[in-house]
Amino acid sequence: MGEGDENLKLFGYKKIPIRTYLFYILSVLSLGSFRLLCHWKVDWLLYFRARKSSLEDADYILVIDEHQTESVREVRTLRNENGMAMPRADGLMDTVKGMRFGHMSLGLLHDIADENECGLNSDELAYRKATFGPNLIDVKLRPIWLLLFKEAISPFYIFQVFSVTVWFIDGYVYYAGVIVAISVISIVIDVCQIRSQEKKLRAMVHSTEMVNVIRNGGEIHNVSSMHLVPGDVLVIPRHGCVLPCDVALLNGTVIVSEAMLTGESVPVTKVAVSVHDSERSIHFDLETHAKHVLFCGTNVLQTRYYAGHHVKAVVLRTAFSTLKGQLVRSIMYPKPIDFRFTRDLFKFVGFLSCLACVGFVFTIVVMSLRGAEVGTIVIRALDIITIVVPPALPAAMSIGIIAANLRLRKKHIFCISPSVINTCGATNVVCFDKTGTLTEDGLDFHRARALMKRSMGKLPLFTPETATLEGGTHGELIKAIACCHSLTRIDGVLTGDPLDLILFEQTRWSLTEGADGMAEDENYDSIQPMLLRPPNLHPTYGGCTVLRQFPFSSSLQRMSVIVQAPHEADSAHDMTLYVKGSPEMIRSLCHPETIPMDFDDVIAGYARHGFRIIAVAKADVELTYAKAHKVPREEVEHDLELLGVIVLENRIKPETTGVIEQLTKADIRSIMVTGDNLLTATSVARESLILNPTKKVYALEHTHEKDEHGRTELVLRLEFDPTEGGGGGGHMNGGNGNGSIGGNMGIRLLGSKSGKDVERASSPVASIAARYQMIITGPTFAVLTHEYPELLDLLVCSCAVFARMSPDQKQALIHHLQAIDYTVVMCGDGANDCAALKAAHAGISLSEAEASIAAPFTSRTANIACVPAVIAEGRAALVTSFGVFQYMAGYSMTQFMTVLFLYTMPTNLVDLQFLYIDFFLITMVAMCFGSTHPCRKLSMQAPPTRLLSLPTIISVFGQLAIIFIVQTVVFFWTEQQIWYPGFIQEEGNDETPSYEGTALFIVTGFQYMTLAVAYSKGAPFRKGLLSNKLMCGCLGLTFFVHLAISIFTDNVVSDWVHAGLSLKPIPTGSVLVLLAFAAVSAIVGLVFEKIIVAKVYEHVRRTRRAARARRDPSLASTAFERLLLQSGDSPSWVYTAAADPPASPTAAADAAAMTSSMDTVIVEPFSLQEGIANPQTVVEEKA
C-alpha cells in the first residue's frame, strides 16, 4: 500500500477459535509469560491465534511499515443501515452492504465553482463523516497507568524483575532494593517525559473552533471545525483565522502565514483557482498547485474579494490527512534509528546470555555432585544469570548520553531525542542549507544596473552601477520594482517577503489599498486594487494600480503583476506587465533584441562574488479590465523587454567559514543543499570553504537534447581548475572535434584544455577521499534520478553543492547518502528543510518554529557553531558508551569467574561483599564515566561504531584473560600457604567465609578499578582522565578504602568491617603478596590496553586495511569508501556510464511480481471534488 511517501505492507489473518482458546490457556498457565512473549513478538501473536488469509476475509491485519516495524490491527466493520439481499451459492441469502470507490476523469477542480455553490447535502455529509471521521488531530493523552504498564513490560525491566526476585529470595536485599529504586525512578522519569511531550504536542495541535460552512442548498451554518469533511465549502473570515483543515481557494485572494509548517515567517499570497485551470484535465498536486491551497494550521492574515461577497474554499483533507497532520504523525512516530552500535550491543547481550546458560548448567552439575539441596541449586544457578548479564547495563549505557545532553543544554542546544546523540558521534557528512544557515537571513541592496536603449538594430547596453534607485535612466526599472511585489498592509504595517520590502523601501514609493477612495463598484468589478505612488522627487512617474498578481512560483522562478497607470500622459497602452525573477528565466522570456551582448558575463561576474541577482522585465499588454483578471500568465509572460538587474548581497555569517574548516580538518564532508541559484551557491561555497580551493570543480548539467539511447544529454563543465586559476569557457575537442567525448555518448565536456582531465585514473587514490568536487542543480539531479540512477552513488560521493533543490529533492539526497553508509547530519533554519531534517540521522534546526519539533536538536544560537559542538558531544558520548560497556562486561565476567571459583568449594561471596562490589566499586565509578568532557577540537580520526569489532573483542577478552590468570594464581596460591587451614563448610550455610574468597575479594577489587582506568579513554575524542575530577575523586576514594580494608587489621574499626564483609584474617605479609598480584594485574592490563590494543594493533590494522583497499576497492569497509576508491582523479565515470545503454525498465514489474503473493491496496491522491480515493476499489461488507 503506498500513500504519499509511505509504503506499507498489509497481510490478512483469519482468526481460528481453537488456536485462540489454546492461546489464552497457555497465557494463564504461564502466569502471563507466554502472553508477554507474544507482545514482544507480534508474529507469534498471530501464529498462535490465526492463519494467513486474504484481506477480504481477514479479522486481523499485520501492518509492516517502511522501517520494518510490525503492528497488528483488528478489522472493524462499518455497516450501512439498509442493505440488499443477495443469493449465495448454497442458496442462502446474504445482506450485502457495499461502497464503490470509482476513478473519475476529473480536472483539477472539475466544475468546482458550480458544484460547490450550494455545499453538501445531509446524506452526502453523513456518508463522508462515516468515511473520514472527525476533523481532529487528536493527540490522545494516554492514562498514566497505561504508560507505567507499557514501560514496565519492556524486556529490560522484565529482566530486572527476574533479577531482583532471585536476589530477594536469596536474601540479597540491599542491592536488590537499590536496583528497584533506580528502576522505579527511571520508569517515573520516562513516563513524565512521555506525558510532558504528549501534552506539549497536544497543546500545539489540538484546536477546535466554530466556523461558517455552506451546506444544504447554500445555507450558511455555524458548526464546530471538528465536523468538517472533504467537500465542505468553508467561508473564510475577512479578518483572518487559523485554518482547521487543508482547503482550496475558490474565489478571492488570501494572505497567510505558513510559519507553523515551513518555518518561513514571510506571508504568502494564495489565489483562487481560475477558470482556465478548471478546464484542464490534470490531477491535483500539492506542489504544483500550492498557490491555490491553504494548509491546516496556517494563519490567515487577510482576505480580499468583491464587496459584500464571501471568500470561499473547499475542504480537501481533514485530521491526520492534512499537511499538519502528517507532520504531527511524523513526530509521534519517528523513524527508528538504525545504528550499528545498538545492534552490536544486543548481539553481545545475546552472547552473554549464552555464556550465562553455560554457567547455569555448570552450577547445576557442580552443586548436584556435591549433594546440595534442589532449592539452593536453582537459586545459585539463576544467580549466575544475573551476574553474567548485569541488570544495570542498559542504565549504565545511558550515562554518556545524559551527561552530553546536559552539556549541550548549557550551550543552548536542546535535544528532544537523546538517543540520537550517540549517532552524531559517527557523523561523516553534514548537509547545510544556505540562506539563514550559512548566510544571514536578510539581504542588503547592493547595486542596480538598468538598460540604455540604443539606435535601431543595436543591442542595449548596461548602464554603470548605481547604489541608489533614482530617476533618469533608471526610471522604468524603479517603477517595475515598486510595482512587482507581493507586499500588503496588515493593520497598517507593510508586510511581505523581506526581499520585496528591501527593494520597495529603496524606491521610496508609497503603498495604499483602494483607488483614490472610489467605490469598488464604480469602475472596478473586482477586488479592491492596490495603489502605488512615487515620492515627490519622482514627479515624472505617476502612480499606478495593481490589478492582478501572479505569485512567485519556485518551478517558474518568477512573479509578475499587471498594472494600470491611467495618469501617464504618454501611455500608448492600457496596461503593463512587470516581471521579476531569476536571470536565466527572465532571459528566456525576453525578446532577444532587448538582451545586452554581455548579459551572461555580467550575471556570472556578480554570481561568482556571491551576490544574488534578480532580473526585471516588462511588456505592454492590451487587455480589458475583466480579461486582466482571468488571463493565464502564460499568455502574457512572453516577448518581454529587459529593464535591468538588481544585485543583492547575502552575507556569510561570521562563524560559517571557521566551522566548515574545522569539519574539513576532522575529515567530515560538508555539503550545501539550497534552493538558490547555482552560481550564487557556488560562490558562497567557495567563500565558506565547502569547495576546496585545491581541488578541481566540475559542474554537471543537462540539455534538452537526447542521446542515441533516448536519454537526456548531460554536460560536464570544468568550473574551476586550481592549476590554471579557473575553468575554461569553451567546448573541449575530444578526438572528433565536435565537443563530445568518445562518440555519441550523451556527455560533453566544457572548459578543459586537454583530454587528460577526464582520463580514468590508472591507480587507486592514496587516501579514501575524492580528488575533485562537483556541483549540480535540482533539475539535473532529477534527470539523473530518473534516467541515470547508476550515477547517483558516485555523484553524491563527490558533489559538494546541490543548488535549486526542492524540499523533496533534499530529502532524496539524504536518503541517497544514507544508502551508501554515510551517517548524515542535516542543519537548516526550518524553511523548506523539514523533510530533510526528519530524514537525516540527526537534524539540527536553527529555528524554533513549530516544525522544528521534528528535528532532534534545536539551537537557540542561529549559526552553525552548534554543529561541531553536537558532533563533539556525540563522539564523547559514543566513546563513553563503549567504555562503560567494556567496563560493565569486564566487571560481570570478572565476578562470574570469582563466583565459579567459589562454587567449586562450595561457597560464595556474602551479600555485603556483593553490595560493596556492585554499588561501591562499580556503580559509583560507572556513574562518573560521562563526566569527561569532549576534546576542544574534532579529531580527523573517527570514533569506533562497531561494538563487536576485532579491537573491542580483543580488548575485552584480553583483559578477561589477564584477570582469569591472576585469579587462578591467587586461588591456588592461597590454598598452598602454610597458614591456610583448609575449607570447612558450615552446616546449612552455602556462603561460608573462606580464605580463597577473601583473597579473591582483595585482588578483584583492584581489578575492577583497573578496568575503569583502562576503559576511561581520553584523546582524541575526550579529554584525559585527570580532567574528570569527579571520576578521579571516586577512583581515589575506592582505592584508599579498599586498600585500608585489605591492609588494616587488629583494630576495632577494621574488625567490625571484616566481620560485616565476612573476611577471613590473612597475615600481613600474604596481604602484601596479594597486593603485588593486583599490581601486576593492573600494570599488565593497562599496558595491554593503552599500548598493545590502542597503538600497535590499531596501527597494524589500519595499515593493512588501507593497503588491502588500495589493492582491491571492494574490500573497503563502507560503500562510500568503495565508491570513492573507484571514482578516480576525474568524473570520467559520467561519460563512461552514459556510453552504456540504459537498463531495461522492468524494476516495477519485478517489484510487482515479488509482491504478487500478498494482497495489495493502492491509494492514489484523491481528487479535490470527491475528496476520496481515486482507484477502482470495491469494499463489500457482509452481514
Residues noted as catalytic? 433
Q: Which amino acid is it at 1168? A: L
Per residue, the 3-state secondary structure of 1023-1078, as one string, reads: CCHHHCHHHHHHHHHHHHHHHHHHHCCCCHHHHHHHHHCCCCCCCHHHHHHHHHHH
Contacts made by residues 846-853, CB under 8 angstroms, sequence distance 24+: 846/436, 846/437, 847/263, 847/436, 849/259, 849/260, 849/262, 849/263, 850/204, 850/259, 850/260, 850/261, 850/297, 851/260, 851/261, 851/262, 851/263, 851/327, 852/263, 853/201, 853/204, 853/331, 853/416
DSSP state for residue 171 in the 8-state scheme: T
Q: How many CB atoms lie within 10 A of CB 787?
A: 20
Cα diameter, the chain: 124
Q: How far apart are CA 241 and CA 272, in angstroms?
A: 18
Which among 652, 754, 694, 125 has a CA at the least distance from the CA of 439? Answer: 652
DSSP 8-class letter at 733: -
Strands 9-15 and 2-3 come out as: unpaired
Q: How far apart are CA 174 and CA 192, in angstroms?
A: 27
CB 801 within 8 A of CB 681: yes
Region for 717 from its dihedrals, namely left if φ exceeds 0, alpha if ψ lies in -120 to 50, beta otherwise: beta
Among candidate residues 234, 290, 302, the one with its CA nearest the CA of residue 262: 290
Distances, alpha carbon 118 to alpha carbons 220, 230, 250, 743, in Å: 9, 15, 13, 64
Cβ atoms of 602 and 613 closer than 8 Å: no
CA distance 794 to 772: 12
| 985 neighbors 370 (Cβ within 8 angstroms) | no
Neighbouring residues of 280: CB distance < 8 A, sequence distance ≥ 6: 107, 108
Amino acid 138 reads: D
Cis status of the peptide bond prior to 592, with omega within 30 of 0 = no
Rounded Cα distance between 11 and 354, Å, is 34
Alpha-carbon distances of 648 from 7, 610, 1062, rounded to whole Å? 43, 9, 81
HSE-CB at 264 with a 13 A cutoff on CA atoms is: 15
Write the single-letter amino acid at 1147: A
- Alpha-carbon gap, residue 39 to 22, rounded angstroms: 16
> For residue 802, which of 903, 684, 960 has the smallest C-alpha distance?
684
Closest CA to 713 of 741, 735, 733: 741
